[in-house]
Amino acid sequence: MTLTTDDPIEILKRKAVIFILGVMIVGGIIASFLHSLEAKTHPISLIIPPVTVVICLGTLIYLLKHPQKIYLAIKIILGWSSFIVVFPEYFFVIEAFLNPDKLLIDSLPPISSGIFLLTTSMIVFLRPKRLLGLIILLWVVIASPIVIYLIFHFQELKTPRGIDLIVTLVPAMGINIFLVTFYARLQDAFNQICMERFHFKEVSEKDALTGSFNRGAGEKILQNLIDQREQSIGIILCDIDRFKQVNDNYGHLIGDRVLQTIARCCQAHLRKQDILIRWGGEEFVIVVTGDSQQELENLAERLRFIVAEQQIPEVGRVTASFGVAILKPHENLIQLFARADRALYQAKDWGRNQVVLA
């Protein structure tokens, strides 16, 4: 088992989503209050702000109860944000087309800030491979009706508001798409670096022969668990009996195969939260958290039986001895291992292929 902690990027995204939801809730409440004071308010302005409050508040409560549902919350935010930008725009464009007395430049609410916030949120939350296509789709969906309308209503296009809309929707959005393309490539490069770093970290922490944690990584994991002391911590020392004879009689390649087989066999019968460490040579350590002394002893006995029953080509059966110890209050890592090590040597002295509890 690796010690599981939340990905820092996921934590940051969660905080950002909670902040955005909070801002949208406050903004919806303020907008609802201000629209209620107006003598004549369009129905859209009366409906969208309070609905935004309800949706965002519900999403916020759900996310706080289920933090792992971060991407569902992101989909809701982006989906609703897209709707409150696109729906009013299409409504007022269609209204202006159908009613010559209505001027789009007068009735259309400000959309520049909405587009900017929506595209920024998409850059922050979406994966690069999906981002570019969605940004282009959003651009087409938002820009098309307004640009078409203004082309057919040149008098409105010549006004300051008309020029502002064209500049926002054509060159400014074009620059935005270029920046998104650059960001997507930058993010791909960053992800590649992260993957390489993860690979190097994996290599530095794992034993090349058996695939279990190496001693350096194991000591850090154990020390971290001991520092936290959130639950019981137990260790099982496992030492393959007469392993030197295996190397002497069959060679080191066969000895390596024995180590691989024992490690694979033990790992297959451990839980996800249990940690297998190659401590050195033919010695392994299993770190177990949350179990009682009896449960730890039972696990060691099961592993002893499984190892002894394992048939290894060219060698046959091998056995292993086990020393078991549970961390005592105020005990440190060295003291814990000293007790487990004494129990292991006692198992050896008593004839090997045994489990001894410290």
CB neighbourhood size of 282 (10 A): 21
> What is the model's pLDDT at position 194?
65
| Res 190: pLDDT | 74
The larger pLDDT score, comparing residue 114 to residue 277, is at 277
**DSSP string spanning 8-60?**
HHHHHHHHHHHHHHHHHHHHHHHHHHHHHHSSS--HHHHHHHHHHHHHHHHHH
Is the pLDDT reported for residue 284 higher than 90? yes
Q: Is the pLDDT score of 238 beyond 50?
A: yes
Quick check: helix, strand or coil at residue 269?
coil
Statement: residue 299 has pLDDT above 80? yes
The domain limits of the chain are 8-202, 215-357
Let me know if 38 is exposed, middle or buried by CB neighbors in 10 A (0-12, 13-18, 19+). exposed
Q: Over 50: is that where the pLDDT of 235 sits?
A: yes
Q: Tell me the pLDDT tens digit for each residue of 133-155.
A: 888 888 888 889 999 999 999 99
Q: What is the share, in percent, of the chain residues with pLDDT greater than 90?
A: 45
What lies within 8 Å, CB to CB, of 84 at 6+ separation is: 48, 52, 114
Query: What pLDDT, on the 0 to 100 scale, is given for residue 2?
Result: 35
Distance CA 179, CA 125 (A): 16
- For residue 221, give the nearest of 73, 6, 1, 14 by alpha carbon: 1
- Is the model's pLDDT at 1 over the cut of 50? no
Domain 215-357 is of which CATH architecture? 2-Layer Sandwich (3.30)
Q: What is the mean pLDDT of the chain?
A: 87
Q: What is the pLDDT of residue 132?
A: 77
**Confidence at residue 107, expressed as pLDDT on a 0 to 100 scale:** 85
As a whole number of angstroms, the longest Cα–Cα distance in the chain is 101
User: pLDDT for 53-96, tens place per residue?
Assistant: 999 999 999 999 988 888 899 889 989 988 988 998 899 999 99
- Average pLDDT for 236-253: 94
Looking at residues 161-177, what average pLDDT do you find?
A: 86
Task: Report residue 191 as tokens.
Answer: 């992800």
Distance CA 322, CA 291 (A): 17
Q: Are strands 275-280 and 283-289 parallel, antiparallel or unpaired?
A: antiparallel
**Residue 15, token pair as written in the block:** 């905080």
Place of tokens 């292993």: 320
**Gap between the Cα atoms of 102 and 93, Å rounded:** 10
Between the alpha carbon of residue 32 and those of residues 7, 59, 109, the distances in Å are: 37, 19, 15
pLDDT the model gives residue 283: 95
Count of other CB atoms within 10 angstroms of residue 125: 19
Burial classification of residue 164, based on how many CB atoms lie within 10 Å of its CB (0-12 exposed, 13-18 middle, 19 or more buried)? middle
pLDDT for position 297: 94
Provide the pLDDT for residue 335.
94
Q: Find the radius of gyration of the CA atoms of the chain.
A: 32
What is the per-residue pLDDT across 178-230, written as a single tens digit (0 to 9) for each? 887 787 778 777 767 766 776 666 667 888 899 899 998 899 888 888 887 77
CA neighbours closer than 13 Å in the CB half-sphere of residue 76: 21
Rounded-to-integer distance, Cα 350 and Cα 353, Å: 9
Q: Which residues are catalytic?
A: 282
